[in-house]
Structure 1
Amino acid sequence: MEAVERRWRPAWPCPARQILSVARRGAGDPTYRVDDAGAHWRGIRAPTGPTALRVWETASSGEVCAEAWGEGAEWVLDQLPQMLGAEDDWSGFEPRHPLLVEARRRHPHWRIGRTGLVMEALVPAIIEQKVTGQEAFMGFRRLVRAHGSRAPGPHPDLWLQPDPQRLVAVPSWDWLRFRVDPARSRAVVAAARVAGSLERLTGLPHPEADRRMRSVPGIGVWTSAETRVRAHGDPDAVSFGDYHVAADIGWALTGEPVDDAGLAVLLREWAGHRYRVQGLLGLAGAHRPRRGPRMSPRGHLPG
């Protein structure tokens, strides 16, 4: 199988690998690999078919280089600039807070990418609801390896997520084996049954896309935000309901942790760019000191 190639020269020094990595679900994500040369690989179910994408940067020319294999190769390469943040609009954003000013200075080329692929972001977000990252990443890996498929192209261990038809058919005992409880598995199946409608949400204004996404049973504010920031490139999709986000942002900006209500008040001055604040603080490593025991993976689900 021959690769389709593209060389793209962004209008800014694009940190392609940093921007792409938001799609990675843990170090063992079978749909995301990093090879010995430092190139990043993604297994993608494009609208036109299964695809493998390999991306790397060339410092000497300032170009981003990509190769793609499979039926969706042309579509994926056409989407590459928006995946890497070429459409991300910073107008109206003022850092104001010294920590944000410094984060912006240190990461001036960071952008919010937009994949245009809703189910790809939504399924792992649902699996990540209300559990530790360790448990969620394990469940996602098991789902992909059991019900996904190998990506086209030369990578020996790159995978595609299951398609919606396959997700609907996953038996209940498999979900339990993956440590995905019935509430989350029902939400995945509910989303898979309306996958076509969900994919079309990328053409809507962000608030309307949020409203419609949250009309699906089991998809709430947090899951919608985690999906929209990746699939839609929504700069306002802050992760309300997260176990750490509100407390971390509150601590970074005021010296005290806050809850979701406090976070909403705190971020008012950045309306329209609230995820941008979250993202910059994450890049700056602005996390409150952890106290007390960590959340542990639950042991009541079968292994």
Structure 2
Amino acid sequence: MDALLADTRPLTTTYAPARPVNLRQTVGPLLRGVHEPTMRLTPNGFWRIIRSPEGTATLHAEARAGGRVEATAWGAGAGWALDALPGLLGDGDDWSGFDLERIPPLAEVRRRHPGLWLTSTALVFESLVPSILEQKVTTIEARRAWRYLVAKYGEIPPGPAPEGMRVQPSPRQWQLVPSWEWHRAGVGPNRSRAVLAAAAVAAGLDRLAPAGPPAGPPAGPGGTRAAGYDGVLEKLQTVHGIGPWTAAETSQRSHGHPDAVSVGDFHLAAHVGWVLIGEPVDDEGMLELLEPWRGHRQRLVRLILASGVPKPKFGPRATIQDHRWH
């Protein structure tokens, strides 16, 4: 009984980062749409539902005066969630070797957004499943599938989470989703099999989670330590159905990977080309453009996305596929 009562009592902390942090910009990549069931943004912060190694948790963080962040967490994983808060807000993300002198417009973007950092959730499987659901489909159908499956098979979170929020299903719960529910969610067999393959090795995947900033000697331009992340992309791709795009999308969130580029993205290459040289490019052209910033390529992409420069609409729109039985 004491343990049950303890789970309902909130834990609180005040985090005082040593540098400016924009909470919404930093954790923004974790949000999959306005109605994301595991994450909600507020005017000055966010709610986040977590399945941590110590249990489920609801985390609420708000920016306060003086750069402080006040956070409250509920549930068995509350302590873990508060301990992970600095990494979630980019504490391990070091931009000191990132030289933007050759691209003054993006240097200005960085000047205007000094609180933008790469988030690190330290939860690999949690980041992997929604990335799998986004493989080779439109954003609309991926988010629809994610909301449907988490709403149906996720748990009610601890504490006073906003209505409609849920804990992502556990690996075992994903394995128990019947085939017809994948179809109802609009998830084709390739993606559902990839989720099941990841669920079968979820414990091993989560052991890839970062324990802190990567160790080792500097590697890459400007002294970045990107070499400390290299094995993560390779190991993720040993799971059946996980390719370079999914591995990059996952590690960007779970590890704050500073050099993971989402090759194969339907829109990204053209956007990068338009901002850097004024015309769209393909994946090969994007990698060529980003090569001078190897070690920091994801940081450069984040600035491009934050620049506000729209990507012109080239080519046909992707069409929504219907995998459901009628």
- Using the size of structure 1 for normalisation, the TM-score is 0.95
Query: Percent identity between the aligned chains?
Result: 46
Q: How far, CA to CA, are the matches of 2:180 and 2:103 in structure 1?
A: 49
Per the TM alignment, residue 39 of structure 1 is displaced from its structure 2 partner at its CA by 4.0
Correspondent of 1:265 among 288, 311, 324:
288
Q: Which position in structure 1 is the counterpart of 2:118?
A: 112
CA distance in 2, matches of 1:262, 1:293: 20
Instruction: Find out whether 1:133 has 2:136 as its counterpart.
Output: no
- Is contact 1:19-1:112 (8 Å) kept? yes
Q: 5 Å matches for 1:283-294?
A: 283-294=306-317
Correspondence for 2:174 among 167, 170, 175: 167
Which segment drifts farther, 161-170 or 13-22? 13-22
**The residue matched to 1:40 in structure 2 has which SS?**
strand
Aligned partners of 1:300 and 1:117: how far apart in 2? 29
1:22 to 10, 21, 29: 29
SS at 2:66 equivalent: coil
Which stretch shows the higher mean deviation, 256-265 or 159-168? 256-265
In the TM superposition, residue 241 of structure 1 has moved relative to its aligned partner by 0.5
Q: Which residue of 1 aligns with 2:202?
A: 195
Q: Structure 2 matches for 1:1-303, cutoff 5 A?
A: 1-34=8-41, 38-58=44-64, 60-95=65-100, 96-155=102-161, 156-203=163-210, 205-302=228-325
Q: 2:126, 2:308 → 1: CA distance?
A: 27
1:246–1:263 Cα contact (<8 Å) kept = yes
Distance across 2 between alignment mates of 1:300 and 1:45: 29
Shift of 1:202: 2.3
Between the aligned partners of 1:158 and 1:269, the Cα distance in structure 2 is 42
Q: CA deviation at 1:296?
A: 3.3
Structure 2: runs of 5+ lacking an equivalent:
1-7, 215-227
SS in 2 for 1:66: strand
The one-letter amino acid paired with 1:139 is: A
The answer to whether the 8 Å contact 2:38/2:49 transfers is yes
1:177 and 1:301 in contact (8 A); partners too? yes
Question: How many pairs align?
Answer: 301
Distance verdict in 2 for CA 1:291–1:146, change over 3 Å: same
Gaps of 5+ in 1: none
CA RMSD of aligned residues (A): 1.5
Q: Distance in 2 between matches of 1:91 and 1:12?
A: 13
> SS in structure 2 opposite 1:159?
coil
**1:203-224 Cα deviation digits (max 9, x unpaired):** 4831111101001111011100
Q: Is the 8 A contact 1:17 1:55 kept in 2?
A: no
CA drift of 1:300 comes to 5.0
| Further displaced range: 273-282 or 18-27 | 18-27
197-206 or 132-141, which deviates more: 197-206
For 1:255 and 1:186, locate their aligned partners in 2 and report how far apart those are by CA, in whole Å: 40
For the 8 Å contact 2:49–2:167, the answer to whether it is kept is yes
CA shift for structure 1 position 18: 2.1
2:87, 2:120 within 8 Å by CA — same for their partners in 1?
Answer: yes
Contact 1:237 1:274 in 2 (8 A): yes
* CA distance in structure 2 between the aligned counterparts of 1:82 and 1:100, rounded to whole angstroms: 25
Opposite residue 71 of structure 2, the aligned amino acid is A
Residue 61 (structure 1) shift:
2.7
Note the C-alpha offset of 1:84. Answer: 0.2
Q: Distance in 2 between matches of 1:221 and 1:293?
A: 24
